[in-house]
Amino acid sequence: MYAVPDQSGKFAVVTGANSGTGKEAARRLADAGARVVMAVRTIEKGERARAEILARHPHARLEVRRIDLADLASVEEFADGIIAEGTPLDLLVNNAGVMSPPVRLTTADGFELQFGSNYLGPFALTVRLLPTLLAAEAPRVATMSSGTAHYGRIRFDDLQHERRYRPNLAYAQSKLADLMLTRHLADLATRRGWNLLSTAAHPGYTRTNLQTAGASLGGGRRSRLSALLSALDFLPSQGVEQGTEPLLYAATSPAAVAGGYYGPGGRFGLVGPTVTARPPRRALDPAVNARLWAEAERLTGVALPAHAA
């Protein structure tokens, strides 16, 4: 098991912390001494998760706050609340996501749900929180991607999948975009001299409700990807404790590097201890990464703060 280094005195935000890898990340960060804001869409679920963690770790410092990454106004309200507190933010864990709803759904702002929730929402949150991140001594941003990013394509002429919606390809695009965000943020930090470490991870095939929750949205038939995952029971899979370790490594390991990507090192890259993962070739072009960042700024209306830019 990966041992999270001492996080005493650290302030962290974990999105999607009511279940799965987000809940496990929040638990282990708090157990290591961090004060953790559990950023969740449904407060009641967040409070239940907090209570479960406190039952195991009574001294954990946990707070539940609401954020809906599919609503840019909610992202702004959440970020403003963190910044207004005046405490430098040491760690942002962009974990929350939605996977392969069978029909095309949209966010509160009209974006395709997966692109909006998995990429544009975390992008807006990260950029809005940059002032308080850069105020910390050694800030980090760790973003959850997926092995499906390897067959993702960034369709600049149809980012919202309006022409033809295919659930699995829309998901893969959003997860590739997360890797591109990670690498462009790392490039920005290097060029501008920020002491900020931007990293990414994927959980392999970890048993969480991600695969089933998205499949139940919209009332349509399950996506091919969701049905395939259900059918492939013979594939190696792992529990959430092991599956969260790449994300925790990306978020806390002294050995993690700028733009680094981490995942399971066992069979087919689906299970096992954390290793450095091979990123998709499409995430490695700085010009394309910068183009996607600029497009995200245009779509969200969120740009680098003046003092950071």
For the annotated catalytic residues, the residue numbers are 171
Q: Is 42 in contact with 65 (CB distance < 8 Å)?
A: no
User: How far, in Å, CA of 244 to CA of 203, rounded?
Assistant: 6
Among residues 290, 250, 285, 243, the alpha carbon closest in space to that of 264 is found at 243
What Å distances lie between residue 41 and 30, 45, 72, 144, 301, CA to CA? 20, 8, 13, 17, 22
∠ CA 243-137-261, rounded to 5°: 30
Q: What is the CA radius of gyration of the chain?
A: 18
Contacts of 72 (CB under 8 A, 6+ apart): 107, 108, 109, 120, 121, 124, 300, 301, 302
